[in-house]
Amino acid sequence: MKQRPRESRRTAAKMTDIARLAGVHVSTVSRALAGSPLVEASKRKRIVQLAREHGYVVNPVARSLRLQRTQMVSVVIPLQHAAGQPLTDPFFVAMLGHLAEAVTQRGYGMNLQKIVLPTHEWLDEIIASGRSDGVVVIGQSTEHETLQRAAANYLPLVVWGAQLPGQKYCTVGSDNPGGAARAVRHLLQGGRRRIVFLGDPTGPELRQRYEGYAHALRDGPPGTAAPRTVPAELTPDAAYQAVRECIAAGEAFDALFAASDVIAISAIRALTNEGLAVPHDVAVVGFDDIALAAHTTPSLTTVRQDLEQGARTLVDLLFRRLDGEETASVTLPAELVIRDSAPA
Amino acid sequence: MKQRPRESRRTAAKMTDIARLAGVHVSTVSRALAGSPLVEASKRKRIVQLAREHGYVVNPVARSLRLQRTQMVSVVIPLQHAAGQPLTDPFFVAMLGHLAEAVTQRGYGMNLQKIVLPTHEWLDEIIASGRSDGVVVIGQSTEHETLQRAAANYLPLVVWGAQLPGQKYCTVGSDNPGGAARAVRHLLQGGRRRIVFLGDPTGPELRQRYEGYAHALRDGPPGTAAPRTVPAELTPDAAYQAVRECIAAGEAFDALFAASDVIAISAIRALTNEGLAVPHDVAVVGFDDIALAAHTTPSLTTVRQDLEQGARTLVDLLFRRLDGEETASVTLPAELVIRDSAPA
DNA sequence: ATGAAAGCGCTAACAA
DNA sequence: TTGTTAGCGCTTTCAT
| Third-level CATH fold of A72-174+307-332 | Rossmann fold (3.40.50)
Looking at residue A103, its pLDDT comes to 93
- Inter-chain residue contact B8 with A128, CB threshold 8 Å: no
Confidence tier at A96 by pLDDT (50, 70, 90): confident
Looking at residue A5, its pLDDT comes to 42
The percent of residues above 70 in pLDDT, for chain B, comes to 94
Is A53 within 8 Å of chain B by CB? no
Mean pLDDT is lowest, of A279-283, B91-95, B281-285, for B91-95
Q: CATH code for B6-67?
A: 1.10.260.40
Q: Do B72-174+307-332 and B176-305 share a fold?
A: yes
On whether the CB atoms of residues B4 and A322 are closer than 8 A, the answer is yes
On whether the CB atoms of residues A225 and A193 are closer than 8 A, the answer is yes
Confidence tier at A6 by pLDDT (50, 70, 90): very low
Provide the 3-class DSSP secondary structure of residue A76: strand
pTM of the model: 0.89
On whether the CB atoms of residues A282 and A256 are closer than 8 A, the answer is yes
Mention every residue, 6+ apart, whose C-beta is less than 8 A from residue A22: A28, A29, A43, A46, A47, A50
Q: Find and give the residue nearest to C7, measured CA to C1'.
A: B66
Is A291 within 8 Å of chain B by CB? yes
Chain B interface, best mutation among A88, A95, A153, A306, by max B CB count within 10 A: A88
- Inter-chain residue contact B324 with A93, CB threshold 8 Å: no
- Inter-chain residue contact B9 with A156, CB threshold 8 Å: yes
HEC string of chain B equals: CCCCCHHHECCCCCHHHHHHHHCCCHHHHHHHHCCCCCCCHHHHHHHHHHHHHCCCCCCHHHHHHHHCCCCEEEEEEECCCCCCCCCCCHHHHHHHHHHHHHHHHCCCEEEEEEECCCCCCHHHHHHHHCCCCEEEEECCCCCHHHHHHHHHCECCEEEECCCCCCCCCEEEEECHHHHHHHHHHHHHHCCCCCEEEECCCCCHHHHHHHHHHHHHHHCCCCCCCCCEEECCCCCHHHHHHHHHHHHHCCCCCCEEEECCHHHHHHHHHHHHHCCCCCCCCCEEEEEECCHHHHHCCCCCEEEECCHHHHHHHHHHHHHHHHCCCCCCCEEECCEEECCCCCCC
Q: How far is the CA of A171 from the C1' of C6 (A)?
A: 46
- A210 CA: distance to closest CA in chain B (Å): 27
Mention every residue, 6+ apart, whose C-beta is less than 8 A from residue A180: A208, A209, A210, A211, A212, A213, A216, A257, A287, A303
Across residues B170-180, what is the average pLDDT?
98
- Inter-chain residue contact B111 with A72, CB threshold 8 Å: yes
Q: How far is the CA of A49 from the C1' of C15 (A)?
A: 29
In chain A, residues 143-202 whose CB comes closer than 8 Å to chain B: 153-156
How many beta-carbon pairs below 8 A join chains A and B?
Answer: 180
Distance CA B261, CA B90 (A): 9
pLDDT at B162 over 50: yes
pLDDT at B70 over 60: yes
Q: Find and give the residue nearest to D7, measured CA to C1'.
A: A66
Mean pLDDT rounded to a whole number for chain A:
91
- Inter-chain residue contact A8 with B324, CB threshold 8 Å: yes
Is A6 within 8 Å of chain B by CB? no
On whether the CB atoms of residues A307 and A287 are closer than 8 A, the answer is no
Q: How far is the CA of B29 from the C1' of D13 (A)?
A: 16
Q: Find and give the residue nearest to D6, measured CA to C1'.
A: A66
- A282 CA: distance to closest CA in chain B (Å): 19
What residue spans define the domains of chain A?
Answer: 6-67, 72-174+307-332, 176-305
Is A56 within 8 Å of chain B by CB? yes
Q: CATH code for A176-305?
A: 3.40.50.2300
